[in-house]
C-alpha cells in the first residue's frame, strides 16, 4: 500500500507521525512511504534522513494526499491553510486514515470521513488490552506531558526543587502535589522526585496507591464510595457529591504546596474541576499550578488554555499540546505506536482491514460510508438533531 505522511498544520505543532527509523518496518512488508517535504524538520528529522530510510519525498500536500492510499497523521484532520481545503477533502475517496480524531468534538470531520467513504482509525480508541500496549499513543504522549509538566513548573517556581545544604543555610525541598496517578501523573511524580522535590499524590483509585509509593511519593487517601474506573481502564465521570469530597481532601493539602500538577481527565468528557477559584486562594503567592487538562476544560476553575494566568501571585499554566515541546522523542514514540497499529490492522500486505481483530474493531471509527463506533454514532445523531432544531 502507498502510505502518505503529511506535514502537520496545527499551529505550534512540532511532531511528525512517522520518523525515519520506523520506515523499514513498513517497507519490509512491501508498503511504500511518501513524506511531505519538511514534515519532520521541526522534530529534527531531515528530508535526507527519510530518503536514506527508503521514503519518497513529495513536494506539496495536494500531491502527497493524492499519492496516499493510507494517510498517517498525528492531529485530527482540519482546514489546510495552504490549500484552503479540509484535510479530509484532500484524501482520496475510499482511502484509509490513522491518527487522532477527537471525534466527540470534531463531528463535522466525522461527517466528511463518512461522505468520502474513508476508513478511519483513531489512536485514542485503541483498546486498553495487553496486546495493544505498543499501540497506545495516549499513554506515550501522557508520559511526555507528565515529564514536561514538572519542568514547566520548575521554570515558573521561584525556588529550588531539591533540598540543598549550603554555606548560606539549608534550602528545604519544594512540595509538589500531583492530582491524578495515571500515566501522566506517575511520570510527573517520578520527574519531580528526580529533581529532589517532596511529592504527594492524590487519586480516588486505591489500586494506584502502591504505584505512587513505589516512586517515593506519599499517597493521599480518601474514602471511595463510587466506582471510579471504567471496564476499559479509564477514569469514570463522578457525581458532584463525590467531587465535593475530593475537593475537601485536596484543599487540605494546598496551603503547603509549592507546585500542583493537574492530570485528571475523563475520556470523551469535560475534565473534573478539582481546584475551585476559592481553593486557589489557599495556595501561597509564588506557587504554581500546571494544568494538563486545560484543553478538556481544566482541573482548575481558573485555567485558561494556552495562557499562564496570575491570580493572587499564583501562576496557573493552561498547558496545551505539551508533548510537542519534546518533538524528537514524542515523534519517535508516536511513530512506533502508529506503525504497530497499521501493521496490526492491515496484516500481510492486505489493503483490507482485519475486522476479526479486537484492536482493529475497537479503533475503527468510520468504514465504507458508515460510523462503526456506537458511542460516536449516537453522539453524531444527537449533534445532527441539535443542528436542525
Residues annotated as catalytic (active site), given as ranges:
128, 133, 136, 139, 234
Please state, as a whole number, how many other Cβ atoms lie within 10 Å of the Cβ of residue 50: 25
The backbone torsions φ and ψ at residue 361, rounded to the nearest 5 degrees and listed phi first, read -65, -45
CA-based radius of gyration for the chain: 22
Q: Determine the distance from the C-alpha atom of residue 37 to the mean position of all C-alpha atoms in its chain, rounded to a whole number.
A: 25
What share of residues in the chain are helix, strand, coil (percent, to 5)?
Answer: 40, 20, 40
Count how many residues are written for the chain. 389
Distance CA 183, CA 196 (A): 20
3-class state of residue 314 by DSSP: strand
Please state, as a whole number, how many other Cβ atoms lie within 10 Å of the Cβ of residue 20: 23
Spell out the alpha helix ranges (H) of the chain: 23-27, 47-52, 61-67, 87-90, 107-115, 137-156, 183-194, 209-214, 240-251, 277-280, 327-345, 358-363, 374-387
Distance CA 116, CA 130 (A): 33
Contact yes or no for 366/111 (Cβ under 8 A): no
Please state, as a whole number, how many other Cβ atoms lie within 10 Å of the Cβ of residue 318: 21
- CA-CA-CA-CA torsion for 167, 170, 175, 176, nearest 10 degrees? 20
Distance CA 51, CA 162 (A): 45
Distance CA 274, CA 204 (A): 12
Return the C-alpha cell found at 208: 494506584
Amino acid at each position: 500500500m502507498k502510505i502518505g505522511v503529511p506535514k502537520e498544520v496545527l499551529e505550534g505543532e512540532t511532531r511528525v507521525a512517522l520518523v525515519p527509523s520506523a520506515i523499514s518496518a513498513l517497507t519490509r512488508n512491501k508498503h511504500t512511504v511518501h513524506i511531505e517535504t519538511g514534515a519532520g524538520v521541526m522534530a529534527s528529522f531531515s528530508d535526507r534522513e527519510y530518503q536514506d530510510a527508503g521514503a519518497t519525498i513529495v513536494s506539496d500536500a495536494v500531491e502527497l494526499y493524492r499519492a496516499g492510499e493510507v494517510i498517517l497523521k498525528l492531529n485530527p484532520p482540519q482546514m489546510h491553510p495552504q490549500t484552503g481545503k479540509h484535510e479530509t477533502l484532500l484524501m482520496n475517496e475510499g482511502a484509509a486514515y490513522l491518527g487522532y480524531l477527537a471525534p466527540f468534538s470534531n463531528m463535522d470531520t466525522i461527517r466528511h470521513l463518512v461522505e468520502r467513504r474513508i476508513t478511519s482509525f483513531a489512536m485514542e480508541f485503541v483498546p486498553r488490552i495487553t496486546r495493544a500496549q505498543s499501540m497506545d499513543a495516549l499513554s506515550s504522549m501522557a508520559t511526555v506531558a507528565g515529564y514536561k509538566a514538572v519542568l514547566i513548573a520548575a521554570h515558573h517556581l521561584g525556588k529550588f526543587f531539591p533540598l540543598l545544604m549550603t554555606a548560606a543555610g539549608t534550602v528545604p525541598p519544594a512540595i509538589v502535589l500531583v492530582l491524578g496517578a495515571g500515566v501522566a501523573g506517575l511520570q510527573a511524580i517520578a520527574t519531580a522526585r528526580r529533581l529532589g522535590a517532596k511529592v504527594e499524590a492524590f487519586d480516588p483509585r486505591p489500586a494506584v496507591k502502591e504505584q505512587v509509593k513505589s516512586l517515593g511519593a506519599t499517597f493521599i487517601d480518601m474514602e471511595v464510595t463510587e466506582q471510579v474506573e471504567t471496564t476499559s481502564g479509564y477514569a469514570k465521570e463522578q457525581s458532584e457529591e463525590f467531587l465535593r469530597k475530593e475537593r475537601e481532601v485536596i484543599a487540605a493539602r494546598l496551603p503547603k504546596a509549592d507546585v500542583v500538577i493537574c492530570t485528571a481527565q475523563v475520556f470523551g468528557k469535560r475534565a473534573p474541576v478539582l481546584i475551585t477559584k476559592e481553593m486557589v486562594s489557599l495556595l501561597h503567592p509564588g506557587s504554581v499550578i500546571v494544568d494538563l487538562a486545560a484543553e478538556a476544560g481544566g482541573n482548575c476553575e481558573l485555567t485558561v488554555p494556552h495562557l499562564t494566568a496570575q491570580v493572587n501571585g499564583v501562576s496557573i499554566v493552561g498547558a496545551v499540546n505539551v508533548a510537542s515541546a519534546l518533538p524528537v522523542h514524542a515523534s519517535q514514540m508516536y511513530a512506533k505506536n502508529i506503525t504497530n497499529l497499521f501493521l496490526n490492522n492491515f496484516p500481510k500486505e492486505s489493503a483490507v482491514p482485519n475486522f476479526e481483530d479486537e484492536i482493529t474493531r475497537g479503533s475503527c471509527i468510520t468504514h465504507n460510508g458508515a460510523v462503526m463506533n456506537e458511542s460516536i454514532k449516537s453522539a453524531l445523531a444527537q449533534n445532527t438533531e441539535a443542528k436542525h432544531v
